[in-house]
């Protein structure tokens, strides 16, 4: 019965609406009773899944809806700094055009209280890349607050 309630809640909130090639997932509102921690974790995992797909396909548009208005970006060839979501998008787009991360998958995901994060490594013809992403709350949604690729 409890699972049915979560499915109905997810449908009512439009948790998985699709827009073109980008999957948009709005995480449900957090209630004080802590009863929706599983649903929140699913929303966080959906964001990390969008990032994995976007990095593997070289398409930051697949996760650009999740970028914070200001986020820290550190990628090879650019100074690590805080950028607007638009600037971060173009930096990532340019980086992914010249550096492919095929079959990228996060090896570690932490969705507990505090700061959710994920990290993983990928090896390619040009060497190995380590990726670290963390999320933070912006109102009622989770957003990407840091992306480091080194």
Overall number of domains in the chain: 1
Helix (H, G, I), strand (E, B) or coil at 123: strand
- What is the Cα–Cα distance from 51 to 146, expressed in whole angstroms? 12
Q: Is pLDDT at 53 greater than 70 in this prediction?
A: yes
> Higher confidence at residue 129 or residue 74?
74
Domain with 74 in it: 2-149
CATH code for the domain in which residue 69 is found? 3.10.450.50
- What is the Cα–Cα distance from 76 to 102, expressed in whole angstroms? 17
pTM: 0.74
Task: Give the model confidence (pLDDT) of 7-50 as tens digits.
Answer: 333 333 333 333 334 333 344 444 444 545 777 888 999 999 99
pLDDT band at 125 (very low <50, low <70, confident <90, very high): low
User: What is the pLDDT at residue 114?
Assistant: 86
Query: What residue spans of 26-129 are helical by DSSP H?
Result: 37-57, 85-98
């Amino acid at each position: 019965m409890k699972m049915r309630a979560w499915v109905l809640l997810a449908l009512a909130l439009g948790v998985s609406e699709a827009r073109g090639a980008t999957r948009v997932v709005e995480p449900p509102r957090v209630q004080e009773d802590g009863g929706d921690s599983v649903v929140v974790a699913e929303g966080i995992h959906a964001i990390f899944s969008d990032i994995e797909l976007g990095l593997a396909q070289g398409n930051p548009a697949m996760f650009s809806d999740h970028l914070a208005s200001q986020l820290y970006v550190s990628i090879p060839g650019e100074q690590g700094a805080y950028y607007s979501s638009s600037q971060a998008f173009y930096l990532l787009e340019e980086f992914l055009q010249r550096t492919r991360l095929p079959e990228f998958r996060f090896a570690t995901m932490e969705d507990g209280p505090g700061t959710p994060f994920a990290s993983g490594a990928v090896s390619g013809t040009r060497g190995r890349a380590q990726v670290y992403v963390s999320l933070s709350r912006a109102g009622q949604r989770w957003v990407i607050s840091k992306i480091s690729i080194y």
